[in-house]
Amino acid sequence: MKLEFDRFRLAAATADLADEPAARAHADAVEFRMDLASDPLDALAGYDGSLPLVATNRAAWEGGEAAADETARLRALREAVTHEAVAAVDVEHAALGTTAGARTASHARDNDTQVIASAHNFERTPAPPTLRNTIARCARAGDVGKVAVRAVDPDDALTVLLATRAAACAGERVATMAMGEAGRHTRALAPVYGSRIGYAPVDPADATAPGQYELGTLRRLVDDLTSKQIETAGRLCK
């Protein structure tokens, strides 16, 4: 399946592909959290849904629950790419600097699968120059650079939005968000500033990151607040 990030896409995050029918009304894709599923490759083999999949096998050192064996973790991602429904894979930016990580990205591209290069900071929002640099490095490494940081106050949220805008105006494809209650609103507002991907669980009880909205709520907020701004975002850069 194809999944282009030429505009904002909303991904329904889940560890259970049986959730896909409930996501169809609101989502453009399903982020399949392989690290949270019991038999992820079997689940992919049996998937018959209509939404394209973003395969994520998040490393424990970046907030996930994948096994400690890095070779096996990345091998599973490469196996996921062989499934037609997998349109994108999320690979940590730090992992892309390793031989196995680079091989995973190359394998994805050889199979016409998009690469999301991601970085997460669950403790804080870095200073603006550092955050901007991280976003740029992730964008260069992947088809989309995804950066999620923790916000502890409104200033942190504003830092994320401004960095997102700077990246978009520089022609970088990025997905950004500030985690936690102080940054919750950035999940709806970041698309105005150029963010290409949003994440939300179908069931709020299954949230995979702090501060996520329920899927239908985020869809409504993005559509209501940002549809016209998203269409004209590139022309507003100065």
The pTM for the full model equals: 0.93
The rounded percent of the chain whose pLDDT value lies above 90 is: 87
236 occurs within a structural domain: no
In a domain, 235, yes or no: no
Residues 90-101 have pLDDT tens digits of 999 999 999 999
Give the range of the structural domain holding residue 161, as residue numbers without chain letter: 9-226
Known active-site residue 120 = yes
Residue 200's φ and ψ, nearest 5 degrees, are -155, 145
Based on the residue annotation, tell me whether 146 is a catalytic residue of this protein: yes
Rounded Cα–Cα distance for residues 178 and 186 (Å): 6
* CATH number of the domain within which 17 lies: 3.20.20.70
Confirm whether 201 is domain-assigned.
yes
The answer on pLDDT for 233 being more than 90 is: no
pLDDT band at 187 (very low <50, low <70, confident <90, very high): very high
Residues 131-158 pLDDT 10s: 999 999 999 999 999 999 999 999 999 9
Residue 188 corresponds to which tokens in the numbers above? 């709806």
Note whether residue 231 is domain-resident.
no
Residue 234 lies in a domain: no
What's the number of domains the chain is made of? 1
Out of 26, 83, 107, 120, pick the active-site residue: 120
| 42 assigned to some structural domain | yes
Indicate which residue of 107, 146, 185, 238 is catalytic: 146
What single-letter DSSP state applies at residue 214? Answer: P
Instruction: Identify whether 233 is part of a domain.
Output: no
For the segment 188-200, what is each residue's pLDDT rounded down to a tens digit?
A: 999 999 999 999 9
